[in-house]
Amino acid sequence: MSKHFETNSIRITPSKSNQKEHSAPIYLTSSFTFESAEEARATFSEEVQGNIYSRYANPNSSDLIEKICAAEGTEMGIATASGMAAMFGSIASLLQQGDHVLASRSLFGSTHQLLTRVFPKWGITSTYGDISDIDNWEKLIQPNTKMLFIETPSNPGLEIIDLEWAGNFAKAHNLILVVDNCFATPYLQQPAKWGAHIVTHSATKYIDGQGRVLGGLILGTAELMKEVQFFTRHTGPAISPFNAWILSKSMETLGVRMDRHCENALKTAQYFEGSSELENVKYPFLKSHPQHHLAIKQMKHGGGIITLTVKGGEERARKFIDHLQMISITANLGDSRSIITHPASTTHSKLSVEERARVGISDGLVRLSVGLEHVDDIIEDVERALHLSK
């Protein structure tokens, strides 16, 4: 293993088959054979290492996990069928009835639904903390608080939480720190370095990078991941070998893609900052971002997402979106194609107006996932639509 992200993401590969292929093949097989009854017994009892069944592991998922663990600096990982399977699995496997989660309020919409609607059914409760009030989070800790769950940068509010603070806070209060690292990717930020015990991903976004497949990852310390592995083996959220293969191939280009996503996003944010058509432009690497100092401390670049708040609320925001010619209207992000969404009426529509307001999603806010097209074309499309929506 190299000390460099780029090299590991390309050169970590499964051992070659007897065909001596240069590019890793897809192992579309549900199970693996044993030479003897004895080998089957020894493999099942984990006396010897070997593939058994693709719900447990498959060469393609193992390959993906090895690359991501090298990138994140984590000991062990599990690949899941979607990002939400990873979010669910990380909480469900490590907590039990009566436990409590302290979470940052700005969370992905479905993660919010898990904590407020799904887990309470099984007696796992949660409290949200506002990052503007981080000095008071100690007061939110209960005797049964076991986990600190955060997302940074958050979707879509782009709030940044100090990972060093989070690591220290979790340690001081004996909490499992889980960080959803989807927006940053391990290329820009490695939460484990700051003390995260578990790092989760929706690999559907930047790790795939071309809007093709769903996937998720749970990564962390061997001690905790053994629990997660037990849970996922027996509950079955396994990723398909095909999707794992796609995602492992995508890892080879993650670094160069992220460099360009971030460069295009910064240029776009700088171009529109101060526009008379906008109330606000938010991007972690703009000096005007409220947590800019934290972003530059813990991230290599500012990421590929910017938010624009148009003047004129929801009506103008939707008109603006309808006037875009190139940029796609779709729910995904992290794609090579630029994508626009109106969170208040789509991804975060299940939140109440008050809940949305508290995580900074106003009716005029649009989220722009800046793609890999030429930045001049992205800027031109946004500018024209802003003009036409007046």
Ligand X SMILES: *Cc1c(COP(=O)(O)O)cnc(C)c1O
Q: Residue with CB nearest ligand X?
A: 83
Q: Least separation, in Å, of the C-beta of 216 and ligand X?
A: 6
Q: Least separation, in Å, of the C-beta of 311 and ligand X?
A: 27
Q: Least separation, in Å, of the C-beta of 151 and ligand X?
A: 5
Q: How far apart are CA 318 and CA 323, in angstroms?
A: 9
Residue for token digits 């997402």? 305
Q: How far apart are CA 155 and CA 348, in angstroms?
A: 10
Helix, coil or strand: residue 104: strand
Q: Least separation, in Å, of the C-beta of 228 and ligand X?
A: 16
- Given the complex with ligand X, which of 180 and 335 has the nearer CB atom? 180
Q: What are residue 100's DSSP bridge partners? A: 125, 145
Q: Least separation, in Å, of the C-beta of 199 and ligand X?
A: 12
- Given the complex with ligand X, which of 243 and 389 has the nearer CB atom? 243
Task: State the burial class of residue 352 (Cβ atoms within 10 Å of its Cβ: 0-12, 13-18, 19+).
Answer: exposed
- Given the complex with ligand X, which of 183 and 283 has the nearer CB atom? 183
Q: Least separation, in Å, of the C-beta of 205 and ligand X?
A: 6
Q: Least separation, in Å, of the C-beta of 17 and ligand X?
A: 30
H helix and E strand count, the chain? 14, 12
- Given the complex with ligand X, which of 72 and 151 has the nearer CB atom? 151
> Is 345 within 8 Å of 318 (Cβ atoms)?
yes
Binding site for ligand X (CB under 6 A): 82-84, 87, 108, 110-111, 151, 155, 180, 182-183, 202, 204-205, 214, 216
Q: How far apart are CA 143 and CA 355, in angstroms?
A: 26
Q: How far apart are CA 343 and CA 308, in angstroms?
A: 11
- Given the complex with ligand X, which of 214 and 385 has the nearer CB atom? 214
Task: Give residues with Cβ within 8 angstroms of 298, minimum separation 6.
Answer: 160, 162, 163, 164, 189, 194
Nearest to 112 by CA among 361, 360, 367, 347: 347
Q: Least separation, in Å, of the C-beta of 347 and ligand X?
A: 9
- Given the complex with ligand X, which of 149 and 386 has the nearer CB atom? 149
Burial 302-333 (b: 16+ CB within 10 A, else e): bbbbbbbbbbeeeebbbbbbebbeebeeeebb
- Given the complex with ligand X, which of 280 and 332 has the nearer CB atom? 332
- Given the complex with ligand X, which of 88 and 169 has the nearer CB atom? 88
Report angle CA 32, 37, 39 to the nearest 5 degrees.
60
Task: Count how many Cα atoms sit within 13 Å of the Cα of residue 328 in the half-sphere of its side chain.
Answer: 17
